[in-house]
């Protein structure tokens, strides 16, 4: 008699919940898309804030008067190590070799 007890309950619950979902889903989806699009731009601001902290750790000094930045290896070197100048900038003797 246990099967007779379960069968009527299951069919009643399923038919009610499925009908309710079918009516609600279309309205919920159309409304949710607009809300998510509006929220997403604000959510991307947090990763950008973390990157600003990384910049504080890496201190980039501009080349001194007697130094230059090689356009090939991007290392700052003494001007005596310039092999030749290009339109983009100076190239050190190591990169020119």
Q: Which residues bind Zn ion (CB under 5 A)?
A: 70, 72-73, 92, 95
For residues 2 and 97, which CB has a smaller minimum distance to Zn ion in the complex?
97
- CA 76 to CA 30: how far, in whole Å? 56
Q: How far is the CB of 61 from Zn ion (least distance, A)?
A: 18
Q: How far is the CB of 58 from Zn ion (least distance, A)?
A: 20
For residues 20 and 73, which CB has a smaller minimum distance to Zn ion in the complex?
73
Q: How far is the CB of 73 from Zn ion (least distance, A)?
A: 3
For residues 56 and 61, which CB has a smaller minimum distance to Zn ion in the complex?
61
Which of 86, 54, 52, 55 minimizes the C-alpha distance to 72?
86
Half-sphere exposure at residue 96, Cβ-oriented, CA atoms within 13 angstroms: 12
Helices (H) and strands (E) in the chain, counts: 3, 4
């Amino acid at each position: 008699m246990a099967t007779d007890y379960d069968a009527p309950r299951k069919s009643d619950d399923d038919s009610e919940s499925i009908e309710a979902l079918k009516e609600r889903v279309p309205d919920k989806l159309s409304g949710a898309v607009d809300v998510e699009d509006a929220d997403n731009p604000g959510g991307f601001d947090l990763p950008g804030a973390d990157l600003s902290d990384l910049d504080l750790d890496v201190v980039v000094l501009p080349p001194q008067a007697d130094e230059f930045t090689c356009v090939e290896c991007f290392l700052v070197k003494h001007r005596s190590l310039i092999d030749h100048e290009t339109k983009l900038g100076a190239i050190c003797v190591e990169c020119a070799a």
